Structure 1
Amino acid sequence: MSVEKPEGPGVIAEKLGAWIADVHASALPDRTVEIARLLLLDVTGLCIAGRGESYVRATLQATDPGGACTALGHAGSFSAFDAALINGTAAHGEDYDDTFEGGPVHSGAVVVPAVLAACEREGLGGEALLRGIAVGAELMCRLSLVAPRAIHSAGFHPTAVIGALAAAGGVAAALRLEARQTTSALGIAGSMAAGIIEYLAEGTSTKRMHAGWAAQSGIRAALMARGGFDGPRTVLEGKHGFFKAFAPSRAPDFSPVLETLGESWIMETIAFKPYACGTMTQPYIDCAIALAERGVQAEQIRDIVCEVGEGTVHRLWEELAVKHRPPTAYAAKFSTPFCMAVGFFDRKAGFGQFTEARIHDPAVLALAGKIRYVIDPDNEYPDNFTGHLRATLNDGTVQEVRQPHMRGGAREPLTGAELAQKFVDNAQHGGWNAALADEARGWCETVFGEPALGTIARFRQ
């Protein structure tokens, strides 16, 4: 029995498929290439940093050795699917990976592992890697703007569900699939998308695997499409499509996906995190550090009230009693009060601030317990991530601090030196010596010009 397929110009996946099939690395803007390179650098450092963590070791137990692909920082080789799962899980595991204001979504931890593994599997070179990373990141950012906040509100993780589509598009670009095949890859990936945010309840690790799961799903979708498996062309806008399933509370607006597509690259505005925790907490940490640097002591503070965007409350502020005393070190990364408190004391929020010792530190918990929120109806979230605190001291005086944007984003990018230091710190955390870390950093700088990716095998250690 034949199935009548919809006709006309309104099929979004077909338009995306035609665009993806026509992208050439040589025509990419310089800034797009630079952001793709920084995504590769950031993800590589994070994969190394996470190589010995318990959740990565557990993920390794779900894989089989052998294959053509590299899990960065691990001996041996793996299938493309397993390598993408391991690398994606490690890259996203500490919530230290890039973010996109307006989504928010984490592109690098999904797209880089998917495209890297696909290119290594197929014996492709740096040009294909660049093309795939750029396309996948662009697709992920644009799709995140279709129904802002609605995916989170439905209980799903945007990075996880949108990530499957973005990874499929990025791999399709790297493999040079035809437009029709790419459209099917997107359609297939829609049925592979998954990832609920119930990890928030107990601070468990499922969010950590979302990027890796999406990455390996994207590879499978693209390879199945190349083999002739078909997927629905109406995967995005259809009656039973992606946004109907994952964002039912909001009518999708596809104009951000198609407007200027092929003319401008919004992935150029991807932000790189200065702190290893939830995205929207970052400007609040800056506020807490600024308060401490004014000479205010924790014992002088009576209470702190923060103005926040309503869309951030259910993930980063509630239940407030739990956020005041996070049950696990991972849960602490999604507690704005804890992140602010530890930032106040340490002037940073890296790997060392999210440990079992710190979540039981009496001074940190005492300060976190003084922090609460009020909803600001004019807050710009998710278009802009801002921070604010109003601290009332014991003597009745008030100190107020505002952070107008996220450091590391388009409004205040991290410097090249800051990003390089982040990479070095992550590599050292993962147990690599300075020489090996420097070699990996150099590889990230030059790999887009290499004819093949075989040199990555040196990082299987």
Structure 2
Amino acid sequence: MTIAEEFSSWAKSLSTKDISDKSRQTLEFLFKDICGVIVSARNENYVQSLVKTYKGTGSLISLGHGKNFDMSSAAIITGTAAHGEDFDDTFEGNPMHVGASMIPAMLSAAQKFNLSGDQILKGMIVGSELICRLALVAPTAMHKQCFHPTAVCGTFGVAAGLSSVLNMSEKQMSSALGVAGSFTSGIIEYLAEGSWTKRVHPGWSANSGMNAALIAKSDFYGPRTVFEGEHGFFKAFALREIERDYSHLTDKLGSRWETENLAFKPYACGTMAQPFVDCAVKLKEKVKDPKKIKSILAKVGEGTVHRLWEPSKEKKNPSTPYSAKFSVPYCVAVGFLRGDAGLSEFNEQSIKDKEILELAGKVQYEIDPNDEYPKNYTGTLICETDDGVFKEHQPCFRGGRKQPVTKEDIEKKYQANLKFSKIGDKEIKNLNSFVDTIFEKPDFTKIIIQ
């Protein structure tokens, strides 16, 4: 039995009653978090560009934009909005964003196929488990091969999740995964100048995964050895020098839930920048005058340098607000000066702020051979000032398994995102009701937002 067949067999037989309580709670948190993020980005230019492209293609609802879209375009738009500000969930073990592909796909497919709340829950847990497990097979290898893990793995998650609720046979499900291997894509050249392509990756993954499932449902035949084969996914999309451990994909399915290791971001920036922002916020309490700062040294994991520290010129003076999200020097500077790195810290005005750029220019890095990345996400800043040297350390990702979020944390972030979106009170009330009952009795009339 191949990996795709073994996973499909488990997914097909899974009952939602077998899902761990913590996994279900995590998915409830995830759904609320992602819906808030989607709505918060509804008026951003990159989202409006896609609305303009696809409006009028159908009669399904794309959260935040009314009832004018087909299944694919609704998912592309909401997936882009979900990931566009990098404020969505991540995964501890190798950075991966599950919600930005899975939730847009299930929102679209649920309308198209009249899925129940129980089916939405099943589709989400199946897709989430596969995406998280794919992240563990060869940590850092996809990034180092110049691919975006969220993009290339999200397609498989969506294909598996949707296949598991469309009454497909195990053969059809494994074919869907095989087809997904040819449909998936997403390079990381956006890093060069902060362009928008990373933003659209999860939406495109949702679209590609749904199409992979649908053609497999009509008996289109895909390769069963898509993951482990000689010409399979990991040979194509992951640096060959990094060892693979395929056992992660099927080991203890149904008893070890990787979904429980999803983490929720407190800041609207790259995953590995987050612990350093925490350090910067704490330094702010010790160093009252930023003009006295001579330098700030960050101790980093080698695997993060090519995305968050280089090229140095771009990272210390980001050319776009989006580029700033993947610049630790910039994120440290706004964390210190503003005490936050939220949605308002990544706009045209902020990236031109002379005080922020001056401080970002003083932030350097040093590779720490003992850094735990990607097994643990930590941050250390050593700040040299006229008054002495100050050090701060963040031992884990705040919002992850070692320092988990509470229900109150998720609610606070969700409400703040709705406020940022400027939607009306009635629309907020309807969306709250929709989110709170999604796994019981989904009512899509409540998410029509014009």
TM-score (normalizing by structure 1): 0.95
Structure 1 distance, partners of 2:343, 2:195, is 17
> Is residue 156–residue 196 contact of structure 1 (8 Å, CA) maintained in 2?
yes
Aligned equivalent of 1:72: 63
Aligned equivalent of 1:203: 194
Letter in 2 for 1:175: L
Partner SS state of residue 408, structure 1 = coil
Structure 2 distance, partners of 1:239, 1:385, is 33
One of 98, 101, 104 as aligned partner of 1:107: 98
What is the CA distance between 1:170 and its match in structure 2?
Answer: 1.1
What is the CA distance between 1:35 and its match in structure 2?
Answer: 1.1
Partner SS state of residue 85, structure 2 = coil
> Is residue 289–residue 344 contact of structure 1 (8 Å, CA) maintained in 2?
yes
Give CA-to-partner distance per residue, 1:164-216, whole Å, 9 cap, x none. Answer: 11111111123232211110110000001100000000100000000000001
Letter in 2 for 1:213: W
Give CA-to-partner distance per residue, 1:327-381, whole Å, 9 cap, x none. Answer: 1111000000100100111111111100111111111111111100000011110
What pairs with 1:159-174 in structure 2 (closer than 5 Å)? 159-174=150-165
Aligned equivalent of 1:455: 444
Structure 2 distance, partners of 1:262, 1:414, is 24
Give CA-to-partner distance per residue, 1:227-263, whole Å, 9 cap, x none. Answer: 1111000000111100000013224211111211121
Number of aligned residues: 449
Structure 1 distance, partners of 2:167, 2:304, is 39
> Is residue 119–residue 175 contact of structure 1 (8 Å, CA) maintained in 2?
no
What is the CA distance between 1:69 and its match in structure 2?
Answer: 2.4
Letter in 2 for 1:101: E
Aligned equivalent of 1:308: 300
Cα-Cα RMSD:
1.3
Structure 1 distance, partners of 2:298, 2:432, is 39
What is the CA distance between 1:68 and its match in structure 2?
Answer: 4.6
One of 242, 250, 259 as aligned partner of 2:251: 259
Aligned equivalent of 1:4: none
User: Would you say 1:32 and 2:20 are equivalent positions?
Assistant: no
Partner SS state of residue 17, structure 1 = helix
Letter in 2 for 1:439: N
> Is residue 68–residue 120 contact of structure 1 (8 Å, CA) maintained in 2?
no
Aligned equivalent of 1:194: 185
Deviates more, 1:296-305 or 1:57-66: 57-66
Structure 1 distance, partners of 2:231, 2:364, is 40
Partner SS state of residue 148, structure 1 = coil
> Is residue 19–residue 254 contact of structure 2 (8 Å, CA) maintained in 1?
no
Structure 2 distance, partners of 1:62, 1:39, is 28
Partner SS state of residue 398, structure 1 = strand
Aligned equivalent of 2:86: 95
Structure 2 distance, partners of 1:456, 1:104, is 34
Aligned equivalent of 1:3: none
Deviates more, 1:153-162 or 1:176-185: 176-185
Q: Percent identity, aligned pairs only?
A: 45
Aligned equivalent of 2:207: 216
User: Would you say 1:385 and 2:377 are equivalent positions?
Assistant: yes
User: Would you say 1:394 and 2:386 are equivalent positions?
Assistant: yes
What pairs with 1:294-443 in structure 2 (closer than 5 Å)? 294-395=286-387, 397-443=388-434
What is the CA distance between 1:403 and its match in structure 2?
Answer: 0.3
> Is residue 80–residue 202 contact of structure 2 (8 Å, CA) maintained in 1?
yes
Aligned equivalent of 2:174: 183
One of 208, 213, 237 as aligned partner of 2:228: 237
Structure 2 distance, partners of 1:221, 1:324, is 41
Letter in 1 for 2:307: R
> Is residue 300–residue 394 contact of structure 1 (8 Å, CA) maintained in 2?
yes
Dislocated runs of 4+, deviation >6 Å: none
Structure 2 distance, partners of 1:234, 1:366, is 52
> Is residue 93–residue 376 contact of structure 2 (8 Å, CA) maintained in 1?
yes
Structure 1 distance, partners of 2:429, 2:365, is 43
Instruction: Give 5+ residue unaligned stretches, structure 2.
Output: none
Partner SS state of residue 164, structure 2 = helix
Aligned equivalent of 2:115: 124
Structure 2 distance, partners of 1:188, 1:376, is 41
Deviates more, 1:115-124 or 1:363-372: 115-124
> Is residue 434–residue 446 contact of structure 2 (8 Å, CA) maintained in 1?
no
What is the CA distance between 1:456 and its match in structure 2?
Answer: 4.2
Partner SS state of residue 77, structure 1 = strand
Instruction: Give 5+ residue unaligned stretches, structure 1.
Output: 1-8
Structure 2 distance, partners of 1:73, 1:459, is 7
What is the CA distance between 1:414 and its match in structure 2?
Answer: 1.9
Distance 1:456 1:239, change over 3 A: farther
> Is residue 430–residue 447 contact of structure 2 (8 Å, CA) maintained in 1?
no
> Is residue 283–residue 406 contact of structure 1 (8 Å, CA) maintained in 2?
yes
Give CA-to-partner distance per residue, 1:10-63, whole Å, 9 cap, x none. Answer: x11111111111111122121111111111111111111111111011112332
Structure 1 distance, partners of 2:20, 2:389, is 48
Structure 2 distance, partners of 1:66, 1:320, is 43
Give CA-to-partner distance per residue, 1:420-441, whole Å, 9 cap, x none. Answer: 1111111122221344224312
Letter in 2 for 1:312: T
Letter in 2 for 1:27: D
Letter in 2 for 1:351: L
> Is residue 117–residue 438 contact of structure 2 (8 Å, CA) maintained in 1?
yes
Give CA-to-partner distance per residue, 1:118-160, whole Å, 9 cap, x none. Answer: 1210011101111111111111000111111110001100000
> Is residue 332–residue 338 contact of structure 1 (8 Å, CA) maintained in 2?
yes
